[in-house]
Amino acid sequence: MIKVENLCKSFRTEDVETIALNNVSFTVEDGEFVAIMGPSGCGKSTLLNILGLLDNPTSGKYFLGNHEVANLKEKERTDVRKGEIGFVFQSFNLIDELNVEENIELPLTYLNIPKAERKAKVQAIMKRMAISHRAKHFPHQLSGGQQQRVAIARAVVFSPKLILADEPTGNLDSKNGAEVMHLLTELNHEGTTIVMVTHNEHDAKIAHRTIRLFDGQIVEEGNQ
């Protein structure tokens, strides 16, 4: 699913160069659930941004499926991202002005899926995420747990092969966090590949494998 080779990313601000990723190489197989851990500033977000085609590496290769995607043009990057990758964020990132069903429908609209099919998919995923009773609510009217269930619904409504999750339980209490991890585990069992950044050792244990970063390099990679 994912193969990165000698990924490097540096940021230059004025005269200071920060090396955020330094020769990072790993693969993620189809259907794997991988956790990425490491202290603040070690490069986790930078790595997830590159995997999610939100940013380009300074050098190195990135194969998603069988396609080299490290240096695509903006439009191609956006198409691959919106067609193949579902994102789940710590802060949910729902659109405040759209209600629950409109938020979930967005990725389907981007993919030009016909209206009747969009409605059916949104209804089905809301039911699955136990959020149907809040279809007309706006994000600020929902609890954190409910917002994250909506965000997961939006991430998976178009059946992406890959989910990238950035601290998906970071803003949730333990009960809602456990529920989110349960949903991600179910999606993984159905064949979705998941790469998740987390600070939470308990959540990392639910993944198959942990990649640990320190100062932009992989320091440990192992099966649970």
| Cβ partners under 8 Å of residue 78, min gap 6 | 53
Which residue's structure tokens are 């080299």? Answer: 68
d(CA 120, CA 86): 19
Q: Choose which of 139, 145, 160, 177 interacts with ligand ADP (CB under 6 A).
A: 145
Cβ(86)–Cβ(156) under 8 Å? yes
| Residue 156 interacts with ligand ADP (CB under 6 A): yes or no | no
Q: What is the closest distance, in whole angstroms, from the C-beta atom of residue 16 to ligand ADP in the complex?
A: 8
Q: Choose which of 23, 45, 59, 93 interacts with ligand ADP (CB under 6 A).
A: 45
Q: What is the closest distance, in whole angstroms, from the C-beta atom of residue 84 to ligand ADP in the complex?
A: 22
Q: What is the closest distance, in whole angstroms, from the C-beta atom of residue 109 to ligand ADP in the complex?
A: 25
d(CA 97, CA 167): 24
| Residue 52 interacts with ligand ADP (CB under 6 A): yes or no | no
Of the candidates 140, 132, 144, the residue with the CA atom closest to the CA atom of residue 95: 140
The Cβ of residue 184 has, within 10 Å, a number of other Cβ atoms equal to: 25
Beta bridge partners of 165: 88, 196
Of 101-109, 115-123, 143-151, 199-207, which segment contacts ligand ADP by CB under 6 A?
Answer: 143-151
Of 38-46, 59-67, 72-80, 184-192, which segment contacts ligand ADP by CB under 6 A?
Answer: 38-46
Question: Which residues bind to ligand ADP, rule: CB under 6 A?
Answer: 11, 13, 18, 20, 38, 40-46, 141-143, 145-146, 176
